[in-house]
């Protein structure tokens, strides 16, 4: 993997999140992938389970946007940083924002076999 291929994967990740298209989600992950929503939680195991989990816990349309970029790419491992911004159901009123770090491990075909997420909510302005 290199920065460009990781960036393409991230762009596809955001598109899959925006559409919740099961095929687009599935194309991102290996059959035996593990997806950790936090480093200490139990992972979602397997591509089918990841797809089902995304579909079950989907965000409402137009209530979020995200952008991510690779910071470090070393072989099949990438460290990514980005922001996820959420809005009220009107799609315009700011709700909250998160700074995200992802640790991604890929297979030889560019599919993610391990996804680990750390996130921190941006403090409200005083």
Q: Which DSSP helix (H) or strand (E) runs through 74?
A: strand 64-74
What is the CA 101 to chain-centroid distance, rounded? Answer: 10
Instruction: With H, G, I as helix, E, B as strand and everything else as coil, classify residue 104.
Output: strand
Report the first-to-last Cα separation within the chain, whole angstroms: 42
Residue 107 sits in a domain whose CATH number is: 3.10.450.50
Residue 97 placed within a domain:
yes
Token pair recorded at residue 89: 């159901």
Per residue in 74-98, pLDDT (tens digit) is 999 999 999 999 999 999 999 999 9
Work out how many domains the chain is built from and give that number.
Answer: 1
- Convert the pLDDT of each residue in 19-60 to its tens digit: 999 999 999 999 999 999 999 999 999 999 999 999 999 999
Pair of tokens at residue 67? 């952008």
pLDDT of the residue at 125 = 78
Name 59's Cβ contacts closer than 8 Å, sequence gap at least 6.
17, 86
**Domain coverage including residue 111:** 3-119
Please say whether the beta carbons of 33 and 114 come within 8 A: yes
Tell me, yes or no, whether 124 lies in a domain. Answer: no
């Amino acid at each position: 993997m290199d920065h460009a291929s990781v960036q393409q994967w991230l762009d596809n990740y955001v598109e899959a999140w925006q559409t919740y298209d099961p095929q687009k989600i599935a194309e991102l992950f290996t059959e035996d992938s593990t997806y950790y929503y936090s480093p200490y939680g139990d992972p979602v195991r397997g591509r089918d389970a990841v797809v089902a989990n995304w579909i079950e816990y989907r965000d409402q349309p137009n209530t979020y946007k995200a952008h991510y970029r690779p910071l470090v790419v070393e072989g099949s491992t990438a460290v990514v940083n980005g922001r996820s911004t959420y809005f009220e159901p009107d799609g315009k009123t700011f709700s909250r924002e998160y700074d995200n770090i992802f640790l991604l491990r890929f297979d030889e075909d560019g599919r993610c076999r391990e996804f680990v997420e750390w996130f921190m909510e941006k403090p409200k302005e005083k």
